[in-house]
């Protein structure tokens, strides 16, 4: 059983790296390898589930791989198989095999044929790791992979404006989900005083005892998990990201946003169901969110002119109903509903190009409009109001911009006086003074001691907000992201006992990625005579290798699990006390915005229509 589960977890990693190594123009070789690997993985999943059923369906958890251990912290990779993981594994492997087979023909002669299959395998790698995760730390690693693969698949047509723009929009919502999960992990450390496996959450008596003793902490964990689920599964007010994600190729829309990734919010609610059901009244909050999303998304879906948008909103509405089922404790029904919804949406999206062609023909030669609808039972004024609101998608995009992103941009623009020179002149002395206080704490005034973590964290947030709003100098934005991480590390050093190993574990990964990015950006600046962020430049045409290096550097500086900074993120949060919610919020804002700022630098430099007129340029609306 151990070997089967290990094979299930690692096989997508192997398939992904093989696709990267295959010649980009060898379509037949890429498709045959992908189909064969997907079929093999599907058969392996069937075998593992059969063995698990034969052993009496007893949940199985392996907790043998410890990546980092200190006196009060441990990062463990855990693999877990129970009825929830079994359903999602079977569903995912079956649909993934179907979509890979479909894509081998659908994507024929596309310029990015090899890149598409690499991105799809990258997604499936994260999906598998998320589903079989036995604790929050392992789940968070897979969760991060899902977010980045989402960005790459939506922006597959990277020479067009809208796919790249919408990829950044979706990535911004995913960052909210990432930080919600990170905050839930942080409070969970204090709640359990250990990194517990998911099997502990099924111990009702133990959970009930802890909830009674630490109700406030339990509510923070529950609300953060709910925020994560809402953002990932396109529930209100995050619903509008789902149709925006349909800018990618039809197969990726089917596998990603129609069937698998969009149900990950429901998955995490089912996985932690036994925990948050102990919170009085929490289930009714989930019911309210699911019901409101189901009603609003259904209305929006009925007035959409795009087939993909109709399917997207219809799927969000069904997931709202699934949220209600989970809140009522009907987890088995929810799993059946998830499977049915995923199969239906995959089918609808895969045939959507044919449906569009058929509908056009019908409208030209035999259109017979319906003269009745269910809305006619409503009063005319209410019906018209709902129609206009649905056409405008209930202004959800405007709500998100005005309540979240615009205030962040305005706050960053208030620091417009910062340049590379002035930032170095300002932050350099600050860092030296703080390091001096750390080395000689007796020189620090007593009244300043409890405030220093908040001071350093506030400076970190200010620097990353300026990086996020920076519209001209890419190197300045990059430098400010590095300063954000530096002040975050200093805030933790003041907040807890100064741990050199933990600090270097975190900053080591950040600084390595930052240096790689600096050299790549300087190479671009020397070749192009300057680089700015005023528009999308599309430099991947002429600098494909540099674009890949900057992508890796952007992921590394964002805490993606390719450097030690990924471990360091969770480790730093573990050093924040359970009573320091304000400090945790500052950290959360910092990690949300720094990922957006880094990926925005990459996207603006290398994606979109090329800035030079001798390259083919797509229309802005295409």
CA dist 368 → 50, 316, 360, 364, 469 (Å): 51, 29, 13, 10, 51
Q: What is the mean pLDDT of residues 295-313?
A: 88
> Rounded to an integer, what distance in angstroms lies between the CA atom of residue 618 and that of residue 414?
35
Q: Where are the domains of the chain?
A: 2-362, 414-606
pLDDT for the residue 55: 82
Q: 540 burial class (0-12, 13-18, 19+ CB within 10 angstroms)?
A: buried
pLDDT over 90 percentage in the chain: 28
Query: Are the beta carbons of 603 and 167 closer than 8 angstroms?
Result: yes
Specify which residues 133 forms β-bridges with.
Answer: 79
pLDDT for the residue 95: 93
> Rounded to an integer, what distance in angstroms lies between the CA atom of residue 11 and that of residue 44?
10
pLDDT for the residue 326: 95
| DSSP conformational letter for 532 | B
pTM of the model: 0.91
| Token reading at 51 | 């063995």
Show the 3-state SS of 180-239: HHHHHHHHHHHHHCCCCEHHHHCCHHHHHHHHHHCHHHHHHHHHHHHHHHHHHCCCCCCC
Q: 303 burial class (0-12, 13-18, 19+ CB within 10 angstroms)?
A: middle
Grade residue 1 by pLDDT with cuts at 50, 70 and 90.
low
Does the pLDDT of residue 447 top 80, yes or no?
no
Instruction: Please tell me whether the peptide bond between 290 and the residue prior to it is cis, using omega within 30 degrees of 0.
Output: no
Mean pLDDT computed over every residue of the chain:
85
Does the pLDDT of residue 569 top 80, yes or no?
no
Grade residue 268 by pLDDT with cuts at 50, 70 and 90.
very high
Q: 519 burial class (0-12, 13-18, 19+ CB within 10 angstroms)?
A: middle
* Least confident interval from 146-155, 165-174, 251-260, 267-276: 251-260
CA dist 94 → 9, 10, 76, 114, 233 (Å): 16, 17, 29, 22, 21
* Triad 445, 480, 578: Cα angle to 5°: 50
pLDDT 10s digits, 72-82: 667 778 888 88
Does the pLDDT of residue 331 top 80, yes or no?
yes
Considering only CA atoms, which of 161, 151, 156, 167 is closest in space to residue 111?
156
pLDDT for the residue 339: 93
pLDDT 10s digits, 146-186: 888 888 888 888 888 888 888 888 898 888 898 889 889 88
Grade residue 231 by pLDDT with cuts at 50, 70 and 90.
very high
> Rounded to an integer, what distance in angstroms lies between the CA atom of residue 236 and that of residue 292?
7
Specify which residues 38 forms β-bridges with.
Answer: none
pLDDT for the residue 542: 83
Does the pLDDT of residue 465 top 70, yes or no?
yes
pLDDT for the residue 422: 83
Does the pLDDT of residue 489 top 90, yes or no?
no
Q: Give, for 64, the enclosing helix (H) or strand (E).
A: strand 60-69
Q: What is the mean pLDDT of residues 339-350?
A: 90
How crowded is residue 97: how many other Cβ atoms within 10 Å of its Cβ?
Answer: 20
Does the pLDDT of residue 355 top 80, yes or no?
no
Does the pLDDT of residue 564 top 80, yes or no?
no
């Amino acid at each position: 059983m151990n070997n089967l589960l290990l094979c299930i977890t690692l096989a997508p990693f192997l398939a992904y790296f093989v696709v990267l190594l295959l010649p980009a123009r060898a379509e037949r070789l890429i498709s045959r390898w992908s189909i064969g690997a997907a079929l093999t993985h599907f058969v392996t999943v069937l075998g593992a589930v059969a063995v698990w059923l034969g052993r009496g369906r007893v949940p199985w958890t392996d907790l043998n791989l410890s990546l980092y251990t200190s006196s009060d912290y441990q990062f463990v990779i855990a693999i877990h198989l129970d009825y929830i993981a079994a359903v999602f594994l079977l569903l995912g492997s079956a649909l993934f095999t179907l979509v890979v087979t479909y894509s081998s023909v659908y994507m024929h002669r596309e310029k990015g044929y090899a890149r598409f299959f690499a991105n799809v395998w990258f997604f499936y790698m994260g999906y598998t790791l998320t589903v079989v995760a036995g604790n929050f730390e392992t789940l968070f690693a897979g969760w991060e992979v899902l977010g980045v693969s989402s960005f790459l698949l939506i922006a597959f047509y990277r020479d067009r404006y809208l796919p790249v723009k919408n990829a950044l929009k979706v990535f911004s919502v995913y960052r909210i989900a990432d930080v919600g999960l990170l905050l839930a992990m942080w409070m969970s450390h204090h709640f359990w005083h250990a990194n517990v496996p998911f099997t502990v959450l099924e111990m009702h008596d133990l959970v009930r005892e802890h909830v009674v003793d630490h109700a406030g902490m339990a509510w923070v964990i529950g609300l953060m998990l709910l925020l994560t689920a809402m953002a990932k599964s396109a529930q209100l007010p995050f619903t509008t990201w789902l149709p925006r994600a349909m800018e990618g190729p039809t197969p990726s829309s089917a596998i990603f946003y129609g069937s698998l990734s969009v149900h990950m919010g429901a998955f995490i609610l089912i996985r932690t169901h036994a925990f948050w059901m102990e919170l009085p009244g929490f289930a009714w909050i989930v019911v309210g969110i699911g019901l409101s999303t189901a009603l609003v998304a259904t209305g929006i879906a009925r007035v959409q002119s795009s087939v993909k948008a109709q399917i997207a909103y219809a799927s969000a509405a069904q997931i709202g109903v699934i949220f209600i089922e989970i809140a009522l404790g009907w987890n088995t029904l929810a799993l059946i509903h998830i499977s049915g919804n995923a199969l239906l949406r995959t089918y609808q999206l895969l045939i959507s190009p044919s449906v569009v062609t058929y509908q056009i023909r019908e409208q030209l030669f035999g259109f017979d409009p319906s003269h009745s609808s269910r809305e006619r039972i409503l009063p005319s004024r209410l019906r018209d109001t709902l129609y206009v609101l649905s056409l405008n998608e209930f202004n959800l995009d405007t709500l998100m911009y005005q309540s979240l992103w615009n205030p962040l941009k305005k706050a960053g623009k208030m620091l417009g006086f910062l340049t590379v020179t002035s930032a170095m002149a300002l932050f350099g002395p600050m860092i030296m003074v703080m390091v001096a206080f750390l080395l000689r704490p007796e020189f620090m005034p007593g009244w300043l001691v409890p405030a220093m973590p908040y001071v350093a964290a506030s400076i970190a947030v200010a620097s990353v907000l300026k990086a996020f709003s920076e519209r001209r100098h890419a190197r300045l934005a990059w430098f400010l992201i590095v300063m954000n991480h530096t002040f975050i590390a200093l805030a933790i050093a003041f907040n807890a006992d100064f741990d050199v190993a933990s600090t270097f574990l975190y900053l080591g990964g950040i600084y390595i990625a930052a240096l790689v990015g600096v050299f790549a950006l300087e190479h671009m600046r020397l070749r192009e005579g300057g680089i700015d962020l005023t528009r999308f430049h599309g430099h991947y045409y002429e600098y494909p290798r540099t674009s890949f290096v900057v992508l890796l550097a952007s992921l590394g500086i964002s805490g993606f699990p390719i450097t030690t900074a990924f471990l360091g993120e969770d480790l730093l949060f573990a050093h924040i006390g359970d009573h320091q919610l304000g400090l945790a919020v500052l950290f959360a804002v910092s990690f949300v915005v720094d990922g957006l700022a880094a990926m925005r630098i990459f996207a603006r430099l290398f994606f979109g229509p090329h800035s030079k007129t001798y390259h083919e340029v797509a229309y802005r609306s295409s």
